[in-house]
Structure 1
Amino acid sequence: MNLDLSKEANGVTFLPRTVAQSMPFSSNEFPKILNRFSVKPNSAEAKIMKKTIEDCTEMPASKGEQKYCATSLESMIDFCTSMLGKRVEALSTELEKETQLRKYSVVGFKKIGGGEVAVCHMLKYPYAVFSCHNVHSTRVYMVSLESAEDGGTKAKGVAVCHTDTAAWNPNFEAFQMLKVKPGTVPICHILPEDNIAWLPN
């Protein structure tokens, strides 16, 4: 399978919670945000930032799902521990070396956790922002991957398999690619390197 497991954002870091909470982060305050980061209103960067704010704060949650926009590490941990309890572990995909799109083979996998999981997806923004959600009816696997290129580059991928997709949008990209309908088969994907799966420990 062809996978791009590389980081989606470019080396941005979290702000401390107190600083993040003082920053405007809504579509209503978008002109103020652009001004703070000296970004021109009609630039490509402005469009990306606007989409991040809309996806993170305005997109409704699916039935039974809880969503949260984490703008600091502390707020991410608070959300995940409120879902999963105080003892949690964070897992992410690990690459042997930086990579772009590469053809990988699965050489092994192991189921981890018992079905409860919260996943945080990094979004593109001037500082670290994650869209987090608790995911029901989900299995998590650690997957060993090996590339036929570059002398067998290895990766450990965190794979998330959604077993109940009945309420998902029929136009979701995975359904189109697999030529299936919602609720018919599990949908699995490997998280990019800067996404995080949180599980009870």
Structure 2
Amino acid sequence: MDFHLVHIITFFMLVVGATNAVMLPPQLYWKSMLPNSPMPKAITNLLHPAGYWSEEKGTWVDVGKGGVDVGVRKGYYEGGGTDVNVGVGRSPFIYNYAASETQLHDKPNVALFFLEKDLHHGTKLNLQFSKTTSNAATFLPRQVANSIPFSSNKMEYIINKLNIKKGSKGVQIVKNTISECEEQGIKGEEKVCVTSLESMVDFTTSKLGKNVEAVSTEVNKESNLQQYTIASGVKKLGEKNKAVVCHKENYPYAVFYCHKTDTTKAYSVPLEGADGSRVKAIAVCHTDTSEWNPKHLAFQVLKVQPGTVPVCHLLPEDHVVWIRK
């Protein structure tokens, strides 16, 4: 895929036409809204270096001890996190999607979904963890993100402005992500796709208040597919059924699919790999799946029916769970 942030920046400058405006980085908005809530790695990995955005220069200005360094972190997101085969296809974390043939047959031994009754010390799961790539698509300041269309009605415009080669894999990825964001959620689900960190904070605090904590899975090293054992110390997080889950989407810049239901529980799950590696994983359990697509990947893997038993899944390293303290 050919995603280039420099084209996003140039587009923003042309639209706004400003020369002297300065925008503070998203992390300062976080600190102003959530002064007592530390950022998880899933967020800090997607931030630009400390500094500010200058419309005059069309880039980040990084102010450090050695002076001023002007530059743009280039790159795009092509996966990372727990290997769950999201790729170009539909996300397995969207409730109303049927499983694709690729998801059913590619790495069928990966235990993405499991039952809540198995969430305890000693349970063994086949998993693969891949650390998030260093050139992952980063957050844009809200003003910049809001200036870029994010709609299926503007698809050709988006493809041109982001300089994505027509007919490439990147075009299909952008189309799929916007489609996922525009489709209606299931009954009882409040959802939104946020295109900036500021928007993620606003959505979460509107649902849970400001006394919140953001957590994410932490992987100390990459691993091939292997057996992990749930270690002692499984812990329920936050208040009962009070959580917002934000799934990282594949897009030229950071976009998250955030949703909330009243039937979601979050857990901290320590894992020990057969090779000795350790993972501080975050799991989400859904106590009511009656509104999910009957052909959802979880039902086909676990051989259960919608609405019968609580279904859980581990979160990739670059997804975020918000809980009320």
Q: TM-score, normalised by structure 1?
A: 0.94
1:93-104 alignment to 2 at 5 Å? Answer: 93-104=217-228
Q: Per residue, is there more strand in 1 or in 2? A: 1
Deviation at 1:102, TM superposition (A): 3.5
The alignment status of 1:20 with 2:168, answered yes or no, reads no
Aligned to 2:204: 80
Judge conservation of contact 1:4–1:100 (CA < 8 Å) in 2.
yes
The alignment status of 1:139 with 2:265, answered yes or no, reads yes
The alignment status of 1:153 with 2:153, answered yes or no, reads no
Aligned counterpart for 2:168 among listed residues 40, 43, 66: 43
User: 1:34 is aligned with what amino acid?
Assistant: I
| SS of residue matched to 2:164 | coil
| SS of residue matched to 2:231 | strand
- The structure having more radius of gyration, on CA atoms, is 2
Unaligned ranges ≥5, structure 2: 1-124
Judge conservation of contact 1:106–1:144 (CA < 8 Å) in 2.
yes
Q: Which has the higher contact order (CA 8 A, sep 6+)?
A: 1
Aligned to 1:173: 297
User: 2:140 is aligned with what amino acid?
Assistant: L
User: 1:139 is aligned with what amino acid?
Assistant: K
Deviation at 1:100, TM superposition (A): 4.9
* Residues 142, 69 of structure 1: alpha-carbon distance in 2 compared, 3 angstrom cutoff: same
Aligned to 1:164: 288
CA distance in 2, matches of 1:162, 1:6: 25
CA distance in 2, matches of 1:128, 1:172: 26
User: 2:146 is aligned with what amino acid?
Assistant: Q
CA distance in 2, matches of 1:7, 1:24: 30
Aligned counterpart for 1:126 among listed residues 217, 240, 252: 252
Aligned counterpart for 2:238 among listed residues 110, 113, 125: 113
Q: Once structures 1 and 2 are overlaid, which stretch shifts more, 88-97 or 35-44?
A: 35-44
Deviation at 1:106, TM superposition (A): 0.6
Judge conservation of contact 1:93–1:155 (CA < 8 Å) in 2.
yes
Deviation at 1:50, TM superposition (A): 0.6
The alignment status of 1:61 with 2:185, answered yes or no, reads yes
Aligned counterpart for 1:182 among listed residues 306, 309, 312: 306
* Residues 7, 135 of structure 1: alpha-carbon distance in 2 compared, 3 angstrom cutoff: farther
Judge conservation of contact 1:119–1:135 (CA < 8 Å) in 2.
no
User: 2:162 is aligned with what amino acid?
Assistant: F
| SS of residue matched to 1:2 | strand
CA RMSD of aligned residues (A): 1.4
Deviation at 1:164, TM superposition (A): 0.7
User: 2:289 is aligned with what amino acid?
Assistant: T
User: 2:235 is aligned with what amino acid?
Assistant: K
Unaligned ranges ≥5, structure 1: none
CA distance in 2, matches of 1:131, 1:4: 23
Q: Once structures 1 and 2 are overlaid, which stretch shifts more, 106-115 or 64-73?
A: 106-115
% identity of equivalent residues: 54
| SS of residue matched to 1:61 | coil
Aligned residues between the structures: 198
Q: TM-score, normalised by structure 2?
A: 0.59
CA distance in 2, matches of 1:52, 1:159: 23
